[in-house]
Each structure stands twice: as structure tokens, then as C-alpha cells.
Structure 1
Amino acid sequence: MIRVSAPGKIYFCGEHAVVYGKHGIAGSVNLRTYVEVERSSEFLIDSYLGISRSLPSEIYPYVSRAVEKISEFHKPEPLKIKITSEIPPASGLGSSASVTVAVLKALSLAYDLELEREEIARIAHEVERDVQGSASRTDTFVSTFGGIRMLPEGEEVSMKGHADIIIAFTGVSSSTKELVSSVRALRDRYPEILDEIMDVIDALSFRVKEKLEKGDLRSLGELMNINQGLLDSIGVSNKQISSMVYAAREKGAYGAKITGAGGGGSIIVLSPPEKSEEIKEALSPLARSVLRTSIDFQGVREE
């Protein structure tokens, strides 16, 4: 049996702007999707959705498409694929990307393909694009390589200092495709305004990189708060998200913002370690789940 895992991701800055070729900074976190594969007489997929025979694309579109992509390298012999995850689906934490990356790595090992990380990241992005219609390469790239990355180039960004990262899931699933479409429609109506906002987010990403590398966490939090205001202005925040963001800030967070497409999903909180428990307590009545986590620097790996 082969066991592989790949991490989820958060955005420090840049979601939605990356769709328009702007910069963003994302990091992988130590919440993982685990994939186990073993030989079988037929394809079986075992997950929280139950056990499915064959590869039903309507239930498992990412797994199905990943197998199709791998078939370009190797005739896919039947496998039992078991998927478990610490990442809530449709939570803004890159759950589909982590599944895709982990499945591709597991298939590469099972079929002795020896795919390099670059190849896994490229194929995983193609899978997400095929399934979603369009997709940033951020989620799949960060899940494959780990660490903190500046997109679109993929440059690794160091982080000095120590702060906790708290993730609070609203409990409301969100559709990245629908939210990207709604922002695009707003841009179509007000192109000069939305383009200015995306340019500001682009500039923010360079300042975020600077503050991460200097370990100036208080300023990093301020920049995250500015980014949250811009995300609110383009219509991807809501009352629940705002209440969570302000609850965290009022308890001493350096910064708090949406991570991912918004509209539900999750927020991230940059917290001084001594404030984390108090912040978690403040968020618990407002969120489905609250997790204290940290940056993952390994990316996809064999367990």
C-alpha cells in the first residue's frame, strides 16, 4: 500500500487579484489530505462520500480527471483509492487542490512514473482548470511545493518571527467559480475601478513579502486588514465573515481576513501566541470550527 499526503493552503494576500495576473502570497498549512492506494480488481474510491465503483466524474471529478491525465503516461491499472482529509471541503483552504496533488503523487508512485514536483504541479493545475473551467495555479502549486510562495512566479518567501495562524471555518461552503464570475461581472460594469483595486492588491503583495521576510508581524497584520477591506469592497465578504474578523481583531489579533474566494469559506487570523486561546474562544460561537495551525514547509510527501 502507498500512502501520500498534500497540504491545504491559505492566502496572506492576493486572492481574486491573481485571476487577473496580479501578485499574491499564499502558504501551505499543516492540514492535510491523505490518499492511500493499493492494487484492486477494479477501480474503487473510498471517501467521506462513501464507496464508489469505477470513477464517476460527477461524484469525484478531480480524481477521475487525474486518472485520465495519468493515462497519458501509463495505462491505469485498477486501484483502490482511499481519501481522508483534515480540510473541510469548499472552505477556501484548497481542499480540491490537495486531493488532486495527493492523488497524482500516489498514482505516480503506484505506476512507477517518478514524476517530479514540477510535473505534478503542472498536471494538477490542468485537472483543476478542466474541472472548474478556469483556475489559478496557486492552490496546486503551493500544495505541491509547500512553504510560502509569491505568485505567479512561485518564488519562495521566508517568514521570520513567530505567530500562530488560526483558521475559522464559517460552515458555509462557497463556489470559487461563482465568486470569480461575480467579481468579473462587477469588473465588466466598472473596469477602471476594479482594475485600480486589483493594482492595489498587487502592491500589497510586495509589502506583505517584505514584512514576512523582516518578521514585522504587526505590520503584516495591518496589510492583511487592508486586503480584507478591499475584498469586502468587491463583494466577496458578508456579515458573518465581518463579525468573525472583528471578533479576532478585538481580542488582539495582528490581522484577520478572508482566505480564498470568500462568500463563506474561512478566515485566517495572524495571532500573537499569547492571544491565541482568547481569540479562539471569541471565534467559537461564530464559526463551525476553529483550528490553530502553522505553515507547512514540506508540500506533497509520501508518508
Structure 2
Amino acid sequence: MNPFTPHTLHVSAPGKLMLLGEHAVVHGRPCLVTAVDSRLHLSITLNDPVGNRFSISAPDVGVEHVEGMVADAFAGGFALAPGTRFIESALAVFHQWFPREGSIHIETRSDFSSQLGLGSSSATVACTLFALGKLFGLRLEPLQLFWLGLQAISQVQKLGSGFDLAAAIYGGTLFFSNPSPKEREIIPLNVPDLPLVVAYSGIKADTPTYVGRVAERMANWPAVVARIFDAMERLVVMGRPALENAEWSTFGQLMDIQHGLLHGLGVDTPETARLVFAARQAGAYGAKLSGAGGGDCVIVLTANDSRAEVEAALKAAGGQIVQVAPNAPGVRLED
């Protein structure tokens, strides 16, 4: 009998930046999101064709090595370590739908810190499911990966629309619509190179906390917050053709309005506001926080000949420039 040779695959998925529509997308409105070229990398090895054990090494999130039985992955909502929750949840969902025998080892590393709010959790789920499908010879279409991934993410954090997962799977720049819990519209857009500058505020945001804060504000002021979400939806509808036609001045103004609406929802901070105003005063087309708020990153749309001045203004205001490019490819096999 020939000895078994372990088989390893390497995959990666992009991070994301929300362009327009954050928070409203959690409440059934559409958004615009772009994938960025800082990627989450995952290696998966089939160590043994029999057995049902898994092990994980994820040093970027403080996990040197944990191992257990596949049947116990994220059992009862508990993971072997905080940094393995999304991998274990994805592993559990995959084996729920596609039971397979074999013991595996998973390793991850990231081009970007999980502190930046670029969607590392969704990229991890996309990589895990994509790698498992490839390892076991399954042909999983992007939309199938999306629904599996949404199930995995919802087991961990309960809240969310899936726009960041869509960006990790499809890549590029997307129009994402979330009209109901069982319905999604994911439309890849033909967008020219986005002249974005990204700056980290220095504050790590807690996404579930800020999503919950907006939900609380909606419960207290339903008519007012619904109108804000309606306005955000209109910005997305107007922003889509502006993006596709490279009408940067128009799109920048829409970004400015979106930031004002986010401030009204209570998710702006002095740190992000300082960066936004610094970028505008340096001549940017527009600037806004990107994501849940409470910190994380600010995105700035600026002409290339103003980029150096805008970056200098952001640094002077306490920002850390994050070197990423938009329109990155989605989850993929690597050499």
C-alpha cells in the first residue's frame, strides 16, 4: 500500500472598504463596497484521508496551535480560542452540508491587521469555505459560497448583512442589496481605478457594538432613523452611475453627505471627524468614515495631483496612511 502524502492548498481573499451605505445595509438598504488588495492568506493541508480532526494556527490573532474533532467545531457556539471562531464556524457549516472524512490543518496570515476594520473575519470565512471546497473536489459557485459563509458568520456575531463577505468572495467593486433575510442582490460594477486614500484613525471599532447602537437609536426614533436610511439608499442609487462613469467630484460630495448622516446616527468620533475635515481642507473631492464607525478607517477620494497634500494633512491630523488599492480580485487559489 502506498503511503499517504499530505496535500496542501493555498488560498487568499481580499479585505474591503465600504464606499456608501453603511448601517443602512443592515436594515434592508443597498450599499456600494470595494475589495482591497490587502489579503487574508490561508493554507489548508489534508494530513490524513481518514479521521475527522482539525488543527488551526493563526498567529496574527494570537493562536499558535489548537486542535479538536470536526464534530466539536464551534459546538454550542464555543470555539477553542477567540481567534478561531470564524474558522471553526465555517468548518462546522461546511461539514453540515458536505460531510467529508479527513483530518486537516489550517494556517492563516494576513497582509493587514484585524485592528483596521477591513473585513478580516469575512475574508477568513471566504477562504476557509473556498479552501475546503477545493480540497475535497467540490465545485462551489460564488453565490453558494456566499450563503454558506453568511450562515457561518451569523453563528458567530448574529448581526450583519453580508456585504463584506460578498466583497471577499466576488472581489472588485459591488452594488450589494439586502432587501430581506433570504434575498441578496450582488452586482459587480465596471469601475475605473478609484483614486482613494485610506487612513486609520488609531481607534479600533467594535462593529457589533455600533450596529447595536444604531439599532437602539432606531428603536427610540424610528421615523427619523428610517428617513436617514432612506437618504443613504438614495446616495447609493446616485453614487452607482457616478462610480461607473468616474464622476469623482459628484461621488465625493455624496461621500460627504454620507458621513454627515453617519454622524447623525451617532457613530462618528472626534478622531474620524478630524481626519475627514483635514482631507476636505486639503482639497479632496470628499471624505467619510468607512464601516461601522467608532474608529477604524476613513476613506478619501482625491485627484492624483492632490494625493501627496491630502496624505500629509491626514498624517498631521493623527491618521496612519494605509497602503491599499481598490477593485481587488475575490477569493482565489494561490501558487
TM-score (norm: length of structure 2): 0.85
Which deviates more, 26-35 or 288-297?
A: 288-297
Partner residue, 2:182: none
Partner residue, 2:109: 84
Distance 2:64 2:140 in 1: 28
Higher gyration radius (CA): 2
Distance 1:291 1:205 in 2: 25
1:68 to 92, 96, 99: 92
**Residue 134 to residue 163, structure 1, CA distance change in 2 (3 Å):** closer
**Residue 68 to residue 57, structure 1, CA distance change in 2 (3 Å):** farther
The letter of the residue matching 2:191 is: M
1:33 to 23, 40, 45: 40
Distance 1:12 1:59 in 2: 27
Superposed, which structure 2 residues align to 1:135-150 within 5 Å? 135-150=160-175
Partner residue, 1:15: 22
**Identity among equivalent pairs (%):** 28
Does residue 1:45 correspond to 2:56, yes or no? yes
**Equivalent pair of 2:194/2:326 in contact (CA under 8 Å):** no
Which deviates more, 164-173 or 123-132?
A: 164-173
**Equivalent pair of 1:253/1:279 in contact (CA under 8 Å):** yes
TM-score (norm: length of structure 1): 0.94
Partner residue, 1:156: 188
The root-mean-square deviation of aligned C-alpha atoms, in Å, is 1.7
Superposed, which structure 2 residues align to 1:1-303 within 5 Å? 1-40=8-47, 43-47=54-58, 48=60, 49-54=62-67, 56=80, 58-72=82-96, 73-75=98-100, 77-152=102-177, 153-160=185-192, 162-287=193-318, 289-303=320-334
The structural deviation recorded for 1:270 is: 1.3
Name the SS for the 1:96 alignment partner: helix
Name the SS for the 2:82 alignment partner: coil
**Equivalent pair of 1:165/1:292 in contact (CA under 8 Å):** no
**Equivalent pair of 1:12/1:208 in contact (CA under 8 Å):** no
Aligned residues: 302
The structural deviation recorded for 1:88 is: 2.2
Distance 2:136 2:201 in 1: 39
**1:257-278 C-alpha deviation (Å, 9 max, x unpaired):** 1111010111111121222222
**Equivalent pair of 2:204/2:296 in contact (CA under 8 Å):** yes
The letter of the residue matching 2:158 is: G
| Structure 2: segments with no counterpart, 5+ residues | 1-7, 69-79, 178-184
Q: Which runs of 4+ in 1 moved over 4 A?
A: 285-288
**Equivalent pair of 1:163/1:272 in contact (CA under 8 Å):** no
Name the SS for the 1:284 alignment partner: helix
Distance 1:237 1:191 in 2: 20
The structural deviation recorded for 1:288 is: 6.0
**1:219-274 C-alpha deviation (Å, 9 max, x unpaired):** 10010010000001110001000001111112221111111101011111112122
Distance 1:78 1:280 in 2: 48
